[in-house]
Amino acid sequence: MFGKVDCIINYAAESHVERSIEEPVPFIRNNVDLVLNVLEFARKVKPKAVVLISTDEVYGAAGAHAAYAEWASIVPSGPYSASKAAQEAIAISYSRTYGVPLILINCN
């Protein structure tokens, strides 16, 4: 049904912080469902890479010159950053369990 897929890039997610605070349940469900659909698709088509573009907000509040080391503790401050942290955790689990080739990027 699908041709060869080299790379899947997931950057689309609910990202409006205020909306996540006003309506957290549908917001979080959307972001978790989104990454599950992407990863299940990846399991079927076996791409060379799945790129998950996340946010530095998964690490918590940042000052003007904040920098985080790779694999720093995840301590989200609100529903948006928590939903992105959940996406990361799920993606890492798919990489470890199913061999989905994951590239995780935390942008700010």
Instruction: Catalytic residue, from 59, 80, 88, 94: name it.
Output: 80
d(CA 21, CA 45): 35
pLDDT in tens, the chain (108 residues): 667 899 999 986 777 888 889 989 998 999 999 999 999 999 999 999 999 999 888 988 776 777 777 778 889 989 999 999 999 999 999 999 999 999 999 887
**Closest-CA residue to 83 (of 18, 13, 10):** 13
How many CB atoms are located within 10 Å of the residue 84 CB? 27
Tell me whether residue 80 is one of the annotated catalytic residues.
Answer: yes
57 is catalytic: yes
Catalytic residue selected from 57, 59, 88, 94: 57
pTM of the model: 0.89
Domains located in the chain, CATH noted: 7-107 (3.40.50.720)
Is residue 83 a contact partner of residue 14, using CB atoms and an 8 Å limit?
Answer: yes
3-class secondary-structure state, position 70? coil
Catalytic residue list contains 22: no
Residue 81 structure tokens: 């950053």
